[in-house]
Amino acid sequence: MSTRTKLIAGNWKMNLTSAEGAARVESFIQHAESKEDVDVVVCPPYLALPKLSEILKYSSVKLGAQDVFWLDSGAYTGNVSARQLYEFCVDYCIVGHSERRGRFGVMEVPESTVGYFGETDETINLKIQALFKYGINPIMCVGETLAEREAGKTDEVICAQLAAGLKGVHPAEMHLFVAAYEPVWAIGTGKVCDADEANRVCGMIRTWIAENIEVEAANDVRILYGGSVKPGNAAEIFGTSDIDGALVGGASLKPEDFSAIVSAA
Ligand code: PGA
């Protein structure tokens, strides 16, 4: 088990209205606040950020967004900037989720996991830089598709994602950075990656950061696992040496499950 403070982030995706989200947070906030040794983050849809920002103003539970645009302002219909997230005290932001990625514009993910948004490694890099500018912690998702895993390309794919996403990043900025290993085939499918294998990949990500950015940054960086994390498998995942928490999708919508995952951490 690592000594880094565990981080549990709930990705609500396109679920819950602002009012429903407020009620969910009220139902687990006390439990989350009582776990002082775990950092808890909720990432609601944009429209719920103002209300949750009010509720979480004095809480140890932090607010996260699910995406960001890389410029501060301008004619970019439908986008939200880091500057605008900063106004609502957003501390974290998911970047490069596989539901938004289409690597280099090519839709490689299975249609069921949705490559609608054409996120590229280049836009991910721009988004990370924009978040650093406002002191917001990016949670950068990396992970392989089933086809890539079966072709033995898991490590190669993830290293390429890291190299492109972290291009030009200075070691001093890395204290804000969070990585999330999310094998595409394990997201929302109920197929969890074996804890030993997930830990091996997270260790590989840490080694990549040590070799390409800085050893100290690699030791301190938090690397989450994401993909069908539930109360029943959380303890095993968190008991490993290189996994520092979880990015939780489906189970984060159920307050009792989310609380149980926080307890497991
Ligand atoms: P899941 O989603 O927990 O529902 O598999 C994880 C994610 O998409 O971040």
Q: Identify the burial level of 231 via C-beta atoms within 10 angstroms of its C-beta, where 0-12 means exposed, 13-18 middle and 19 or more buried.
A: middle
112-120 average pLDDT score: 62
Q: What is the pLDDT of residue 2?
A: 61
Residue 114 has pLDDT above 50, yes or no: no
Q: Which candidate, 50, 49, 53, 31, places its Cα nearest to that of 40?
A: 31
pTM, two decimals, is 0.94
Task: With cut-offs at 50, 70 and 90, classify the pLDDT of residue 117.
Answer: low
Q: What is the pLDDT of residue 191?
A: 82
Atom of ligand 1 nearest to the CA of 189: 5
Sign of the four-CA dihedral 123, 201, 191, 62: negative
Mutate to test the pocket of ligand 1, among 11, 95, 100 (most ligand atoms within 8 A of CB): 11
Q: What is the pLDDT of residue 49?
A: 98
Highest-pLDDT range among 32-36, 117-121, 130-134:
130-134
CA-nearest residue, atom 1 of ligand 1: 249
Q: How many CA atoms lie within 13 A of 147 on its CB side?
A: 4
Provide the percentage of residues in the chain whose pLDDT is more than 70.
93
CATH code for 6-264?
3.20.20.70
Ligand 1 pocket (Cβ < 6 Å) reads: 11, 182, 187-188, 226-229, 247-251
- Contact (Cβ atoms closer than 8 angstroms) between residue 141 and residue 247: yes
* Window from 25-29, 35-39, 48-52, 105-109 with minimum mean pLDDT: 105-109
Backbone angle region of 188, left / alpha / beta, with phi > 0 → left and psi within -120 to 50 → alpha: left
Ligand 1 centroid to Cα of residue 257, in Å, is 13
131-145 average pLDDT score: 96
Distance CA 239, CA 232 (A): 13
Task: Give the tokens for residue 262.
Answer: 């926080």
Sign of the four-CA dihedral 146, 223, 234, 250: negative
67-95 average pLDDT score: 96
Give domain limits for the chain.
Answer: 6-264
Q: What is the pLDDT of residue 199?
A: 97
- Contact (Cβ atoms closer than 8 angstroms) between residue 263 and residue 256: no
Chain CA centroid to CA 227, Å: 11
**Helix, strand, coil percentages in the chain from 3-state DSSP, rounded to 5:** 45, 15, 35
11-39 average pLDDT score: 94
Q: What is the pLDDT of residue 111?
A: 53
CA-nearest residue, atom 3 of ligand 1: 249
Distance CA 153, CA 255 (A): 36
Q: What is the pLDDT of residues 167-216, one digit of tens each?
A: 999 999 999 999 999 998 888 777 888 999 999 999 999 999 999 999 99
Other C-beta atoms within 10 Å of 26: how many?
A: 11
Distance CA 250, CA 232 (A): 14
Higher pLDDT: 243 or 111? It is 243
Residue 100 has pLDDT above 50, yes or no: yes
CA-nearest residue, atom 7 of ligand 1: 249
**Catalytic residue ranges:** 97, 182
